[in-house]
Amino acid sequence: MRRRIITSLLLGFIVLGIVLYLYGRSIWVPPYRSIMGKRSVQEVVSLYGPAAESRTLRFFQAAGAPYPPAAISMIALKEERRLELWAHDGSTWRPVKTYKIKAASGKPGPKLREGDLQVPEGIYRIEGLNPNSSYHLSIKLNYPNKFDVEHAKLDGRTDLGGDIFIHGKDVSIGCLAMGDEAIEELFVLVSRIGIENVTVIIAPRDFRRNNNVEPRRDLPSWVSELYTIIHQGLLSYKL
């Protein structure tokens, strides 16, 4: 009996440890970083840049796109669970690489409030790079943007949430988890060209293949306007 209790406790601690490691990174990683020392963006680029750029460069060459490009766009498609990387060659946009989105919590539909676990939908800019992320590396989006704030006011919503990132690992709580190798490539690329030269479009599905932009009936009426904006934004990126 005692052995069973000890075995059950050990299994419980193991399961708890796994859960904490995967889903509690925001709890234990910050103190770990404080002990081990925080990294700068340049340190991270020096560490991961050579291997990441070697991988990325092959795709740019195959696409006939210059490296580093003048500007890039990342198109995240929730339903298809993929993120497309596009580069501007000075005259047009060229598809460079497609990444699998390893995790994205929530369902189709925009983020409305703190704690709804939704990945936002819309056209976003980059606010900054986080070399000390709890999820390896991360790229912060400017959610809520102007559209999000204006329509929240119309709805009477005040707690919109924030801290939305594209990051590493394969766990998501309202963010786009891309895995460590992918985020290294994207992080280094963004650092090379500057955050002001990056656009991120997050769509519920690929409106280029399906022109039906009508949202679910349970979503606010303004989501139709949002999906029309996203659809128009996607027209510059023709596969």
Q: What is the pLDDT of residues 61-96, one digit of tens each?
A: 999 999 999 999 999 999 999 999 999 988 999 999
Residue pair 29/171 in contact (Cβ under 8 Å)? The answer is no
**88, 136, 175, 231: which one is catalytic?**
175
Contacting residues for 61 by C-beta, under 8 A, at least 6 apart? 67
86 shares a domain with 71: yes
Enumerate helices (H) and strands (E) in the chain, giving the number of each: 6, 8
Radius of gyration of the chain from its Cα atoms, rounded to whole angstroms:
20
pTM of the predicted protein model: 0.86
pLDDT of residue 4: 65
Nearest residue to 119 (alpha-carbon basis) of 132, 131, 138, 106 = 106
**88, 136, 151, 167: which one is catalytic?**
167
Question: Residues in the chain with pLDDT < 70?
Answer: 1-37
Nearest residue to 105 (alpha-carbon basis) of 19, 28, 23 = 23
pLDDT of residue 20: 46
116 shares a domain with 3: no
pLDDT of residue 216: 84
Active site residue 136: no
Is residue 200 included in any domain, yes or no? Answer: yes
107 shares a domain with 14: no
pLDDT of residue 212: 78
Nearest residue to 213 (alpha-carbon basis) of 194, 232, 197 = 232
Token duo for residue 198: 């990056």
Pairing of strands 72-77, 165-167: unpaired
82 shares a domain with 71: yes
Active site residue 88: no
128 shares a domain with 22: no
Is residue 239 included in any domain, yes or no? Answer: no
Token duo for residue 166: 């594209």
Nearest residue to 89 (alpha-carbon basis) of 62, 106, 64, 124 = 64
55 shares a domain with 29: no
200 shares a domain with 172: yes
pLDDT of residue 7: 61
29 shares a domain with 46: no
127 shares a domain with 31: no
33 shares a domain with 43: no
Residue 225, domain extent = 39-234
Q: What is the DSSP letter of 118?
A: P
Quick one: which H or E segment has residue 76? strand 72-77
